[in-house]
C-alpha cells in the first residue's frame, strides 16, 4: 500500500514541476532584461537610437535609409536668443513709447566703452523672464503672430517701475546687483527729468518671481499692461508688431550653439556621402531631412537662414519652406545651385526652415503645433522616427494630440503617432534652453507624454541617425 501511494504521488509530480518551471523561467528572464536595459547616462541616448534605427531599417528595401528626423525650435534649442530678444524688445519699446527715453539716464548708467546707455540690469531681468513671455506669445498666437510682443510690454513695465522707484532699489546685494541699476546710475534725485516724484509709500519694483507668477495667470499683468500701455487709446499690439518687423532685420545674427553645429555637421556629412552612394548605385534616395528648424514668424526665417549658413558647412542643403517674398525666394534659388540631383522634394535637403504662415488671416489652428502636425502627417516617409525638441512647454502640450486620445505605450521615450504612416514620435523639452526654467522641467517630468532631454543626449541622437541596414 505504501509503495502504491508513493507511485501515485510520483505520477502527479510532473504537474507540480510544470507549474514551477514558468515561475523559474520568468525570474531568470526578468534578470536578463534588467541587465540589458541598464545603461550608463552617457550611453543612454545612443543605445536608444541604435535600437530604433535597427527596427526601422529592417523593413526598408533601400540599402541606406535615414528614418530619423528632428523638429527643433530655433529659440532656446538651436540658439540662445533670450538676450537678443530682450535687446530687440527694448529698442522697440523706446520707439513705441518715445517719452521713455527722457528718463533712461536715471535708470541706466552710461557706458564710455560703447558710448551708449548700459541696459545690463534690464536685459538680465528680461532674460530671467523669457519663459513667461514665451508662454504668453504661444497662448495668444492669434494676436501676437509669434512675434516677441510680450517682451516689449515687459520692457515697458520694467523701465517704468524702475523710474517710479526713484533710485531706492539699487544694484546692491545678490539680487539687486543683477536685476537693478547700479547706485551711481539710479535716480537718486527727488524728481526725474519729466517731473516724476519718487514714491514714498513703501512700494518697490516687482521681483522676477512675482512677475513670473502673475504675468499670464494670477494678477494677469500681461492683460493689464496691454490696456494700460495703449498707443493713443488703441491696442498697442499692431504698433509693436510693425516696429518689430522693421527693427529685427537690423539686429545681429544669432549664433548657433556649438554642440548643435558639431552634431548637425557630422550627420549632414554622413548623409551626403550615403546619398551620393545611392545615386551611384542608381537607387532612389530614401531620406527625410535631418532637421526642421521652427521659427515663430515668417520674417525670422531669413535671419535663421543666415545663421545656419554661417555655422554649417558650405555645401549644406538648406531650404526655406513656404516662401512668401522675393528675398526669401532669391535665397532659395541661390542655395539650390545647378545640381540636377536636387529637386523640390524635401528629401533633397538637409535642413528645412519653416514657420506658421503668419501673413494670412490667423486662426487658433494656424500655430506652431499645427506646423508640427503637418510635418508628421504629410512630409515624412513611412516608418520614420521624429523627435520634437521645443523650448515651449505649451507647444509640446498641444502636440500631445499627435498620439491620439489614449496614452501610447512608450519605449525609450518614443511612442506611435496616430498621424502619418506608422510614425514614431517623441516630445522633448530641452533642459539647456535659456527660456526654460526648472519648474517647467518638473512639469514635463510629471507629464506622461513629454520627456526632458539634455543637450548631450540630443547631440548623441543627431550624430547616430544614419546606420546601414
Q: Under a CB-based contact definition with an 8 Å cutoff, are residues 171 and 192 in contact?
A: no
Residue 354, all three cell numbers: 519653416
Alpha carbons 117 and 235: distance in angstroms, whole number: 29
Alpha carbons 197 and 448: distance in angstroms, whole number: 53
Each residue's pLDDT, cut to its tens digit, for the chain (469 residues) gives 555 554 444 444 433 333 333 333 333 333 333 333 333 333 333 333 333 333 333 333 333 445 789 999 999 999 999 999 999 999 999 999 998 887 777 777 656 665 567 788 899 999 999 999 988 787 787 778 788 899 999 999 999 988 887 767 776 677 767 777 776 554 444 444 444 445 455 578 889 999 999 998 877 899 999 999 999 999 999 999 999 999 988 888 999 999 999 999 999 988 888 878 877 776 666 678 899 999 988 889 999 999 999 999 998 999 998 643 434 444 444 544 444 343 446 677 899 999 987 654 544 346 888 899 999 988 887 788 999 999 999 999 999 999 998 777 888 899 999 998 889 999 999 999 999 999 999 999 999 999 999 999 999 999 985 444 3
What's the pTM value of the predicted model, to 2 decimals? Answer: 0.77
Beta strands in 230-327 (DSSP E): 286-287, 291-294, 318-320
Beta-bridged to residue 450, according to DSSP, are: 427
Alpha carbons 28 and 438: distance in angstroms, whole number: 40
Long-range contacts of 111-120 (CB under 8 A, 24+ apart): 118/185, 119/87, 119/90
Q: For position 66, what pLDDT does the model report?
A: 54
Q: For position 13, what pLDDT does the model report?
A: 40
Beta strand pairing call for 286-287 and 385-389: unpaired
Name the one residue in this structure whose C-alpha cell is 524702475. 162
Residue 340, all three cell numbers: 540636377
Name the one residue in this structure whose C-alpha cell is 522693421. 246
Alpha carbons 151 and 424: distance in angstroms, whole number: 35
Q: Under a CB-based contact definition with an 8 Å cutoff, are residues 347 and 289 in contact?
A: yes
Alpha carbons 76 and 392: distance in angstroms, whole number: 9
Q: In 3-state terms, what secondary structure has residue 286?
A: strand
Q: For position 381, what pLDDT does the model report?
A: 78
If we measure between CA atoms, which residue out of 401, 396, 364 comes closest to residue 141? 364
Cα 107–Cα 434–Cα 80 angle in degrees, nearest 5? 90
Residue 132, all three cell numbers: 513667461
Amino acid at each position: 500500500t505504501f509503495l502504491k501511494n508513493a507511485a501515485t504521488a510520483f505520477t502527479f509530480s510532473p504537474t507540480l514541476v510544470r507549474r514551477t518551471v514558468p515561475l523559474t523561467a520568468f525570474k531568470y528572464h526578468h534578470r536578463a532584461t534588467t541587465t540589458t536595459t541598464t545603461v550608463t547616462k552617457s550611453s543612454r541616448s545612443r543605445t536608444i537610437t541604435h535600437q530604433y534605427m535597427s527596427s526601422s531599417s529592417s523593413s526598408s528595401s533601400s540599402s541606406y535609409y535615414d528614418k530619423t528626423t528632428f523638429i527643433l525650435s530655433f529659440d532656446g534649442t538651436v540658439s540662445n536668443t533670450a538676450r537678443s530678444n530682450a535687446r530687440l524688445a527694448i529698442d522697440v519699446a523706446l520707439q513705441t513709447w518715445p517719452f521713455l527715453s527722457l528718463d533712461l539716464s536715471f535708470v541706466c548708467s552710461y557706458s564710455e566703452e560703447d558710448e551708449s546707455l548700459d541696459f545690463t540690469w534690464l536685459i538680465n531681468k528680461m532674460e530671467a523672464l523669457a519663459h513667461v513671455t514665451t508662454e504668453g506669445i504661444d497662448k495668444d498666437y492669434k494676436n501676437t503672430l509669434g512675434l516677441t510682443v510680450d517682451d516689449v510690454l515687459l520692457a515697458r513695465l520694467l523701465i517704468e517701475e524702475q523710474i517710479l522707484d526713484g533710485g531706492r532699489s539699487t544694484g546692491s546685494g545678490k539680487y539687486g546687483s543683477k536685476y537693478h541699476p547700479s547706485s551711481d546710475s539710479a535716480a537718486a534725485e527727488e524728481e526725474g527729468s519729466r517731473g516724476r516724484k519718487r514714491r514714498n509709500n513703501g512700494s518697490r519694483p516687482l521681483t522676477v518671481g512675482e512677475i513670473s507668477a502673475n504675468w499670464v495667470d494670477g494678477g494677469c499683468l500681461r492683460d493689464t499692461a496691454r490696456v494700460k500701455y495703449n498707443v493713443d487709446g488703441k491696442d498697442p499690439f499692431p504698433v509693436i508688431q510693425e516696429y518689430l518687423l522693421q527693427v529685427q532685420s537690423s539686429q545681429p545674427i544669432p549664433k548657433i550653439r556649438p554642440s548643435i553645429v558639431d552634431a548637425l555637421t557630422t550627420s549632414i556629412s554622413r548623409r551626403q556621402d550615403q546619398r551620393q552612394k545611392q545615386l551611384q548605385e542608381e537607387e532612389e534616395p530614401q531620406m527625410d531631412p535631418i532637421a526642421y528648424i521652427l521659427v515663430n514668424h515668417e520674417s525670422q526665417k531669413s535671419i535663421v537662414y543666415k545663421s545656419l549658413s554661417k555655422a554649417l558647412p558650405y555645401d549644406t542643403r538648406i531650404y526655406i519652406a513656404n516662401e512668401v517674398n522675393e528675398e526669401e525666394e532669391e535665397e532659395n534659388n541661390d542655395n539650390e545651385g545647378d545640381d540636377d540631383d536636387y529637386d523640390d522634394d524635401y528629401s533633397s535637403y538637409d535642413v528645412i526652415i519653416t514657420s506658421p504662415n503668419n501673413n494670412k488671416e490667423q486662426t487658433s489652428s494656424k500655430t506652431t503645433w499645427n506646423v508640427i502636425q503637418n510635418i508628421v502627417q504629410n512630409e515624412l516617409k513611412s516608418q520614420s522616427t521624429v523627435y520634437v525638441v521645443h523650448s515651449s512647454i505649451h507647444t509640446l502640450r498641444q502636440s500631445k494630440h499627435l498620439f491620439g486620445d489614449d496614452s501610447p505605450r512608450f519605449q525609450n521615450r518614443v511612442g506611435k503617432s496616430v498621424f502619418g504612416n506608422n510614425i514614431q514620435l517623441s516630445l522633448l523639452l530641452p533642459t539647456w534652453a535659456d527660456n526654460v526654467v526648472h519648474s517647467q522641467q518638473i512639469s514635463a517630468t510629471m507629464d506622461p507624454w513629454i520627456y526632458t532631454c539634455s543637450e548631450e543626449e540630443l547631440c548623441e541622437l543627431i550624430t547616430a541617425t544614419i546606420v546601414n541596414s
